[in-house]
Amino acid sequence: MALDGFVDQSLSRRAMQAELLDAETELELAYAWRDRRDEQALHRLITAYMRLAISMAAKFKRYGAPMNDLIQEASLGLMKAADKFDPDRGVRFSTYAVWWIKASIQDFVMRNWSMVRTGSTSSQKSLFFNMRRVQARLEREAAAVGERLDKHQLRQMIAVEVGMPLHDVEMMEGRLAGSDFSLNATQSTDDEGREWIETLEDESEQASVTVEHDKDIDTLRGWLVSAMQNLNDRERFIVRERKLREEPRTLESLGQELGLSKERVRQLEAAAFGKMRKSLEAQSKEVHEFLV
């Protein structure tokens, strides 16, 4: 952390010592980069406005991101601004660059705030960065007239203020309540403390349930094999094709293969099932109830 602070101060000092560009020089550098891809002109332009990038990055420190990372993202935004800047529009580069720097920093903060995507639309992005400010203002205004807002009233007023659905405000409030924590973190400062992941309920089946289920399946499979042994070859073939295939065949296709009518195949199938039912009933009443 101390090293981060040292690097921040070093960058800030260099940025403060950079030249200040007047409008005419700024325009010349912008033309040189746009028209001739003059890298020295680009370097002067970027260096001159690094103090602007650092100043804007500092405004987002409260979101918990390292200052060096914020400065890096601000620098990327500044370079994008320089690459897309059109000097013919008569706008100062600093005015144009502010939008790109801010957008780059905000995207970085939202990407790193939580593993869950914090917001995907421009309105959700605006809510993320303005909700606390709007909330504080509404609370001040209510306090000034002697009122106290409960959480539900406050959320409703914020939704009206920013023009977004109430459920979006509730969702964003949860996101802003805190960033992610590791499930492997201990519940106390004691190194021997229990990890949070140990408090999660195991939703998988218990071993006893799994073993019992597997045993039942094996028993039913044995009964089925035994019942099919009482069938002749043609009946076993029909049962396999009609009931044991992943994609059961039709009576018509079986009839064409066996040289029988569709009705005759249906009769053989019914007879086979009748034989199997009697065999299974002789072995277990539970199987009879299961098949019914």
Residue ranges of domains in the chain, CATH in brackets: 9-113 (1.20.120.1810), 122-176 (no CATH), 208-291 (1.10.10.10)
For residue range 42-72, list pLDDT tens digits in order.
Answer: 999 999 999 999 999 988 887 778 888 999 9
Closest CA to 14 of 43, 46, 51, 67: 51
193-213: average pLDDT: 58
CA gap 237, 230 in Å, rounded: 13
6-10, 83-87, 91-95, 105-109: the lowest-pLDDT one: 6-10
What is the tens place of the pLDDT at every residue in 13-39?
Answer: 777 777 889 999 999 999 999 999 999
Pairwise pLDDT comparison (213 vs 223), residue with the higher score: 223
Q: Is residue 180 predicted with pLDDT exceeding 50?
A: no
Mean predicted confidence (pLDDT) in 234-256: 87
Most trustworthy range by pLDDT among 44-58, 103-117, 181-195: 44-58
Reference 17, options 54, 68, 69; nearest CA is: 54
Give the pLDDT confidence of 78-100 residue by residue, as tens digits: 999 999 999 999 899 999 999 99
* Measured distance CA(241)–CA(254) in Å, rounded: 8
Residue 26 is predicted with a pLDDT of 93
* Reported confidence tier of residue 170, pLDDT bands at 50, 70, 90: confident
Q: How many other CB atoms are found less than 10 A from the CB of residue 67? A: 19
Regarding pTM above 0.85, the answer is no
